[in-house]
Amino acid sequence: MSHDTRRRVILFCVALIVVALVLGSVGCSSTSGNGDDPDALTPALYVQAMGDICDATTERLDALPTPPEEISRADWAGEVSRALRDEAAAFDEIDVGDDRRTDHASFVENTEGQAAGWMALGDALADAEPDNVTISALTTDLTELTLGRNDLADEMGLAGCQARELS
């Protein structure tokens, strides 16, 4: 296993541990102000938990090799997709209560959509003769999802969960 691969595996494991610790600690915290759901996070803890998950994903994405020198663009897009899929799964584990349920579900759905879009882009780039029309359409879809994520993050007070600059 190369040094870079080992580093990425260790970083990924650390990120998962951080997410697990945050979710575990906030799940046992006070829940005042959460409507009828006593297990839902308080607004401050919700923002913290979401931010911690976003930070862990950003670190994971930052640790990816640089395409095309260190990794193919298709493989890189697949790694981005997996990171976003794992981020959406972590978001989905949070008990948000009734007050934030709709916005939270939209945020999770957007993140899942981005993960699917990056996987489709990776598949398109892996073709022996990539279809530029398909790649352009997928890139446009990802841009729209990114703008939507930014809007949702603003509305939900999740400044740390704005879309990342991926290239």
Region 21-50: mean pLDDT is: 67
The interaxial angle of helices 132-156 and 97-126, nearest 10 deg, is 160
Mean pLDDT score of the chain = 85
Q: What is the pLDDT of residues 98-145, one digit of tens each?
A: 889 999 999 999 999 999 999 999 999 999 898 999 999 999 999 999
Query: Confidence class of residue 25 from pLDDT cuts 50, 70 and 90?
Result: low
Is the pLDDT at 9 greater than 60? The verdict is no
Q: Which amino acid is at 70?
A: E
Q: What confidence score (pLDDT) does residue 15 get? A: 53
Considering only 19-23, 42-46, 63-67, 91-95, which range has the smallest mean pLDDT?
19-23
> Read out DSSP for 36-67?
T-TTSPPHHHHHHHHHHHHHHHHHHHHTSPPT
Region 68-85: mean pLDDT is: 97
Q: What confidence score (pLDDT) does residue 32 get? A: 42
Q: What confidence score (pLDDT) does residue 121 get? A: 97
Q: What is the pTM of this model?
A: 0.77
Host H or E run for residue 101: helix 97-126
Query: Confidence class of residue 23 from pLDDT cuts 50, 70 and 90?
Result: low
